[in-house]
Structure 1
Amino acid sequence: MLTFSTQQPALDQVLELLIQSFEEAFPDRIRSYYVEGSLANRSTVSTSDIDLLLIFKGRFVDEAESQRVEALAERLAQTSPIELDLDWKDELRLQEGVWPALKFGSELVYGEEIRDQLPLISLEQWTRDRMHSSFWRTGHLFHRTLPLDYPLQYPQPDEEFYGYDQRTVQLKDGREVKSTRDLIRLVGWSATALIAYQAGQYVARKSDCHQMYRKYVADDQLADLLQEIYELCRGRWNYLLPEDPAERRKLRSICEQTLRFENHFLLLYKEYLLQELAQQNVSAQQQALFFLRMTPYRDQTIDATLNALTYSPHEEIALTAKEILRPL
C-alpha cells in the first residue's frame, strides 16, 4: 500500500492505518500523503513522532470539511501508539509556495507525486515565517512571563535543567516523561531562522541544521551547541533525560548554553523586527505586529517604533500598534 517504507514495520503499520482512516472519511478528496522529518530520511529514534502531511485536491469544500479533518486527526492522535504530528493543506493554498521540508525533505507514502508542481516559498517569506515563529516559540514554549525582556532569564532557574525539559513524551509503555523535545525544537527553529536571515539559505532537514549553521553563519561555540543538541539530545538520549549522572551534568551544561543562544537570537530578532516594521510593505508590517501582539517584547527602540506606527495612514496598522503599546 505504501509507496515508501520507513523500514520499521510498526511505523509503516501506523501510517497505513492513518491513510486508511482518512481515505474512508474523505473518499477521492486527498491527492497525496507525504512524510517529513526523521521518517523521510529513515533516522527515527525511539521517541520520534510521525510527521504526515495530507494534501487535499483543489481547495477545501468549505470550512466544515477542514474542521472534520481536524476532528479526525485529534481522534487518531488520542488512540495512536506513536505521537502524531499531522498537517493538512489544500492544493490551492500550496500554490502560494511550500516549505523546503516538503519540497526537498519529504517522501511520498501514498497518492500522487506533485512536488514538482508546487513552487518553493520565496526566501523573503521563508525568512519572515522562521524569524517570527521562532520568536513566538521563545516566548511561549517554556511558559515565560510576558512581555519578554532582554536579556532573557532561564524559564525555571531553580530546576536541574532550568525548565527546558517541560515537554513530555509518551513512552511505549504509556508513561509520560519529561523530555528535551521542545529544547530541540526551539533551538532548531531559531537556527534555521538565522541561517535564512544571515545567510539567505533554506534548511530542509533537521539533520542539516547544525552543519549549515557552521558553514554559512559561524563556526563558533553556538555551532558546537547546535551539533551537541542534535547528536546528544536527539541521537544518544532520544529526546529523553539521561539517567547517568555525568550525562545529566552534560545536559545541564547544554541547557546553560541554550540561554546564551536564545539571547543571541533575540538580539538579532530585534534587528529584524525593526527592519520589518520600518518597511513600506504593509503585509510585512502586519505580520510583524501580529506576532508582537501575541508575544510582547519590552524595548525602548521597539516602543518608539510602535509609537510612530500609531500615526500610520493604514488604520489597521495604527490600531494594532496602539493595542500592543497599551498593556506596556
Structure 2
Amino acid sequence: MDIKTTIQDLKNFKLIKGEEMDSLGGRIFATICLLATMVGILALIVLLADVLKSGWTWLSIDFITGLPSILPEEAGIYPALIGSIYLMILTAFFTLPIGVGTAIYLEEYAKDGKLKRIIETNISNLAGVPSIVYGLLGLALFVRALQMGSSLIAGALTLTLLILPIVIVSSQEALKSVPNSLRRASYGLGATKWETIRNVVLPKALPGIMTGTILSLSRAVGETAPLIMIGAATSMFTTPDGLFSQFSALPLQIYGWIQEPVEAFQNEIAAAGIILLLALLLTMNSIAVLIRNRYER
C-alpha cells in the first residue's frame, strides 16, 4: 500500500507541476499578445496627438466652408469635402445593389459546385488586391475605354470596384448567420423562395450587411491612389455640379497641401484636413454601429 501511495503521490505531483507550467506559459503568451497590441495602440495615440497638436488651431468654420488658396491663412477645404460626400453617395449607390445581389445569388440560389467555389475564391482574392491596381483598372476602363474622363462618376465606379469584393464577402457572412430553421419555417407557411429571402432572410441579415458596407465605404473615403491614377484634381475651387464634372476629395486635397513648399501647408493645414477626414470616418463608423444596434433589436 505504501508503494502504491507513493506512486500515486508522484503522479499527482507531476500533474500539478504540468498544470503550473501550462499556466505560466499561458500567462507569458498573453503578456506577449498584450504588448503586441499596445505597440499598435501607442503608435496610433502618438500619431493622433501629433495631428491634433498641429492642426487643431486651424480648424474653423472659415476653413471648412472656404476655398483653397495659395495663402495658408485663407485656405479652405469645402470643395474637397463636398466632393468626398458626393463620391461616397455615388459609390454606395453602385456598391450596395451589386454587392448584396451577388451575395444573395451565391448563398441562396447558386448550387454548390466547382463553379461556385471558383467564383468565391476569386472574390476573396480580389479583396486583397492593392488599391492602385483598381486605379489602373479604372483609368483603362472608365476614363479611356468608356470616355468618362476624370469625372465624379469615374471615381465612384473605380471605388466601387475597390470595395465590391469586401461588400460581397461581408454580405455572404451576414446571410450565412441567418438560421436555416427560419427559412424552413417560412417555406412551411407556404412562402416562395423570393418571399422568404425578402421577408425573413434579408431583415435578419441587414445589420451585418449594412455594417460591412459602411465600413467598406469608410475605407474608400480615405483612398488616394485610385483617384490619383484616374486623374482626379488635387485641388478644386468649385464643387461638382454633375456626374461628369471634375472633382476633388479630402485625401487628394491633403496630398496636394503636403506637396506645397510652404511649411504651414505641409504641417498645420494638412493636419487640419486629416482631422476633418478622421471626423468623417468616425461619423460613418458611428452610423454603422447605430444601424446594427437598431436592427438587432
TM-score of the aligned structures, taking structure 1 as reference length: 0.21
Which structure features the higher share of helix residues?
2
Higher strand share: 1
Larger radius of gyration: 2
Which structure carries more relative contact order (alpha carbon 8 Å, separation 6+)? 2
Q: TM-score if structure 2 supplies the norm length?
A: 0.23
